Structure formats: structure tokens, C-alpha cells
Homo-oligomer: A and B are copies of this chain.
């Protein structure tokens, strides 16, 4: 019986690798995290800026997602001594280390969308 080894690399499932993938997934999971990171990759933003730019989010979820991103060191939260106080959120250098993952996912997702479209238009009542 042949062994599938993910092309020419070692398979996953060494438990530490799977655990690491799950850690990463947990950090990026949540309905708005990716969008917020994308939004902050454009430039620093205040709470109300994010409320306006992240379409559909409510203040509770924005607050919660920002807290989780900050806890994981992906974004920074800086209270500005303006009047009234404003809070500036920014992607940290550490947050930027997610870039390779995000680009791989964007790439795969784009190909997948094309593939799904092709699959559905290619099926001519065969199933």
C-alpha cells in the first residue's frame, strides 16, 4: 500500500505540528480578526475608524476582537493624550509576521474560488 506523504515532504501529524497549526487557527479565528488585521495593514486606526471601516461589526465584537489580538501581541493599543482621549490601534511588527500565512491563504482561496466555479459550470447534468 502506497503512502501519501504530501508530495515530497514529511507528513504532518507529528503532534507538535498539528498543535502549532491549531494554535495559529485559534488566534486567527473569530468572525472579524482577519478583516481587522487587513484593515490595520493599511495604517493605524482609532476605534471609531475601525467601526466605520469594518462593515457590520458592533462595538462589543470590535472591542473583544481587538483585545484578543492585543493579548497575542499582533496589534498595539495606544491611548493618545488628546481631548477627548482617542485610542490608536496598530499592527505590530510581530503581527506582520503573519503575512506569509495570509498571502498563502489568499492565494489558495482565490484559486479555490476559480476551481469551484469551474466545477459547477463544467458539470452538465452528470450528477
Report which A residues bind B (CB closer than 8 A). 1-7, 9, 11-13, 16-25, 27-29, 34-35, 37-44, 72-73, 90-91, 94, 96-113, 115, 119
Contacts and interface: CB of A to CB of B under 8 A. Distances in A.
Contacts of A40: 4
Nearest to A34: B21
Contact of A21 (B1, B27, B102): B102
A9 B110 CA distance: 18
Number of copies of chain A assembled together:
2
Contacts of A13: 35, 38-39, 41-42
A42 B108 contact: no
B106 A1 contact: no
Given A12-B37, A19-B109, A23-B109, 16 more contacts: A4-B41, A4-B91, A5-B41, A12-B102, A13-B41, A18-B34, A18-B35, A18-B106, A20-B107, A21-B106, A24-B106, A24-B112, A25-B34, A27-B112, A72-B112, A101-B105
